[in-house]
């Protein structure tokens, strides 16, 4: 049994004008919900993209579900999935058509049953025949989640899963994810800017700044370590530590 869902060693991603990820090493235990926190440009999305195999690192090793993602990504891709509110499903296809296509891409044979089950669970049955582009933000998020759960992933990567949702829908999505993870024992690795979400969902938090992991621990451990009252204050403390190099605006 592999203990780690994700194991990253000395990962570096350089672009011609910037270092996006600067030699990070971390692991994510199976069955946990872990957050990558950091300001814009901290390297969270770059890290997630590398884990998904969408982006090639400059150097470093990445093992996902026991496989080297750089060499054997097709062994592991059927066992993982991804959801982001910033990457919409094709607008002109209906929700059902989109889900059917992704179910086929994952080689699922019980496509209609799975879509039926997920539609009921995520309450999207009412708009299955509607074009994906004509959904509200909350509906899109639930549809994207349905797509991400089609293949019963062992590892789910989420990029700001509740961004642009109203508090009620955001809370609904968080509850769903909590229940889903508890039921399946899957691993969730998420990038988020929503501190209360992270405090509620995650047992482990990695704080990123300028492509590096600058601290790590449970939400409560981080709050205690920095002598703050909540994770948002910890986040601001860490984010602002880097600002001393900026020239103040006059």
Partner 1 sequence: MSRELRLSAGRVWAMLLRYLYLLRSSWPRTLELLYWPTLQMLIWGFMSQFLYANSSYVFRAFGVLLAAVMLWDVLFRGQLGLSMSFLEEMWARNLGHLFVTPLRPYEWVLSLLSMSMIRVLLGILPAALLAIPLYQYSIFAMGLPLVAFFAVLLIMGWALGLAICGLILRQGMGAEGLAWTVVFTISPISAVYYPVSTLPSWLQHAAWALPSTYVFEGMRTVLFSGIFRADYLLRALALDLVYLALGTTAFFVSFHNARRRGALLQMGE
Least distance in angstroms from the C-beta of 84 to partner 1: 8
19 closest CA partner among 57, 53, 54: 57
CB closer to partner 1, 14 vs 214: 14
CB closer to partner 1, 193 vs 228: 193
Helices (H), ranges, the chain:
44-52, 73-76, 95-105, 111-121, 137-149, 167-184, 195-201, 219-225, 231-241
Q: In what order do the strands lie in the sheet with 80-83?
A: 80-83, 155-159, 187-192, 33-38, 204-209, 212-217
CB closer to partner 1, 144 vs 222: 144
Least distance in angstroms from the C-beta of 69 to partner 1: 11
Least distance in angstroms from the C-beta of 154 to partner 1: 14
Block residue for tokens 């026991």: 66
Residues with Cβ within 8 Å of residue 249, at least 6 apart in sequence: none
Question: Using N-to-C axis directions, what is the helix angle for 137-149 and 111-121, rounded to 10°?
Answer: 140
CB closer to partner 1, 87 vs 247: 87
Contact residues toward partner 1 (CB under 8 A) are 15, 45-46, 49, 52-56, 74, 77-78, 80-82, 84, 87-93, 97, 100-102, 104-107, 131, 147
Least distance in angstroms from the C-beta of 111 to partner 1: 10
Per DSSP, 134 falls in state G
**Contact between residue 57 and residue 15 where contact means Cβ atoms under 8 Å apart:** no
Least distance in angstroms from the C-beta of 92 to partner 1: 5
Least distance in angstroms from the C-beta of 55 to partner 1: 5
**Sign of CA pseudo-dihedral 176, 180, 182, 186:** negative
d(CA 44, CA 195): 15
CB closer to partner 1, 49 vs 119: 49
CB closer to partner 1, 107 vs 227: 107
């Amino acid at each position: 049994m592999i203990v780690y869902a994700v194991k990253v060693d000395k990962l570096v991603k350089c672009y011609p004008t910037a270092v996006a990820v600067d030699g990070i090493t971390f692991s994510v235990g199976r069955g946990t919900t872990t957050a990558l926190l950091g300001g814009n440009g901290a390297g969270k999305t770059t890290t997630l993209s590398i884990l998904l195999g969408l982006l090639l690192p400059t150097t470093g090793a990445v093992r996902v579900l026991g496989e080297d993602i750089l060499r054997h990504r097709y062994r592991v891709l059927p066992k993982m999935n991804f959801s982001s509110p910033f990457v919409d499903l094709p607008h002109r296809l209906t929700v059902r058509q989109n889900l059917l296509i992704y179910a086929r891409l994952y080689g699922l044979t019980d496509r209609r049953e799975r879509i039926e089950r997920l539609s009921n669970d995520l309450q999207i049955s009412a708009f299955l025949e509607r074009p994906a582009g004509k959904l509200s933000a909350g509906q899109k998020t639930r549809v994207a989640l349905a797509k991400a759960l089609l293949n019963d992933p062992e590892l789910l990567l989420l990029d700001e899963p509740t961004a642009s949702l109203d508090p009620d829908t955001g809370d609904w999505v968080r509850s769903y994810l909590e229940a889903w993870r508890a039921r399946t024992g899957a691993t969730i690795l998420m990038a988020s800017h929503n501190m209360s979400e992270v405090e509620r969902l995650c047992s482990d938090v990695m704080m990123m700044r300028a492509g590096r992991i600058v601290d790590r621990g449970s939400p409560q451990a981080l709050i205690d370590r920095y002598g703050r009252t909540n994770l948002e204050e910890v986040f601001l403390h860490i984010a602002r530590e880097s600002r001393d190099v900026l020239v103040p605006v006059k």
